[in-house]
Chain A
Amino acid sequence: DVKVTQSSRYLVKRTGEKVFLECVQDMDHENMFWYRQDPGLGLRLIYFSYDVKMKEKGDIPEGYSVSREKKERFSLILESASTNQTSMYLCASSTPGSYSGNTIYFGEGSWLTVV
């Protein structure tokens, strides 16, 4: 059974704190993604990575950074959390490949509240 695990389900952090959201997948997938989901806005891509130490900006990278030191792990970092980063964060992974129709698998989500 495919598995994408996010380290924290619920977090409450203070404004200005550094926040780490960790994600691990056990499917040996090359691609990993971080999304955030907000009411009325659907899922928005923050960053993705297609290989170890590689990263690409998504649609809303401002205020975030990522780290991919190992293939199975993709971390999202909020250097200085702000209240507008209160959201649900979703990690996902997939295999690469053109036109193969491969799927993306999601973790359970991390609810972050910044106060």
Chain B
Amino acid sequence: DAKTTQPTSMDCAEGRAANLPCNHSTISGNEYVYWYRQIHSQGPQYIIHGLKNNETNEMASLIITEDRKSSTLILPHATLRDTAVYYCIVRVENNAGNMLTFGGGTRLMVKP
């Protein structure tokens, strides 16, 4: 399994962009990068995923480096509600289906 490395915590001012980095230097060619977040006491929420190209949706943008060894999740205008733990995950697959292995994540604190 390709493992990921994320900073333990980050702060961001409300209204500014939050840039959350992730290293996944052992990622293999067919593995996707996923981002989830978990607000306190709730289940994880899917944010975005990508393979090679940069991706954008209504929640965030995902920038993947050309060598795919790292990526950055961008929340363009962070709000207090974006305070959560953000997980960067490389998708693992087995014969039966697919699983996700979650690490420690980055605790993002959005401050007024």
Whether the Cβ atoms of A42 and B46 lie closer than 8 Å is no
Interface residues on chain A, size class? 20 to 34
Whether the Cβ atoms of B102 and A105 lie closer than 8 Å is no
Whether the Cβ atoms of B102 and A42 lie closer than 8 Å is yes
The interface on chain B, measured as residues whose beta carbon lies within 8 A of the other chain's beta carbons, has a size of: 26
Whether the Cβ atoms of A90 and B98 lie closer than 8 Å is no
CB-CB contacts of A75-98 with B at 8 A, as 1s and 0s?
000000000000000101010111
Q: How far is the CB of A111 from chain B (nearest CB, A)?
A: 8
Would you list which residues of chain B between 96 and 112 have a CB under 8 Å from chain A?
A: 96-105
- Knowing A42-B102, A42-B105, A101-B51 are in contact, say whether A31-B44 is a contact too (CB < 8 A): no
CB-CB contacts of A22-55 with B at 8 A, as 1s and 0s?
0000000011010100001011010010100010
- Which residues of A have CB within 8 Å of B101? 43, 45
- Count chain B CB atoms within 10 A of each CB in A45, A54, A101 and give the residue with the most: A101
- Which residues of A have CB within 8 Å of B45? 106
Whether the Cβ atoms of B43 and A107 lie closer than 8 Å is yes
- Which residues of B have CB within 8 Å of A96? 96-98
Which residues of chain B have a CB within 8 Å of any CB of chain A?
30, 32, 34, 41-46, 49-51, 87, 91, 93-94, 96-105
Which residues of chain A have a CB within 8 Å of any CB of chain B?
4, 30-31, 33, 35, 40, 42-43, 45, 48, 50, 54, 56, 58, 90, 92, 94, 96-99, 101-109, 111
| 29 pairs of residues in contact across A and B, judged by CB atoms under 8 Å | A31-B97, A35-B102, A42-B87, A42-B102, A43-B100, A43-B101, A45-B101, A48-B99, A56-B94, A58-B99, A90-B43, A90-B44, A94-B98, A96-B96, A96-B97, A97-B98, A98-B30, A99-B30, A102-B98, A103-B46, A103-B49, A104-B98, A104-B100, A105-B46, A106-B44, A106-B45, A107-B43, A109-B43, A111-B41
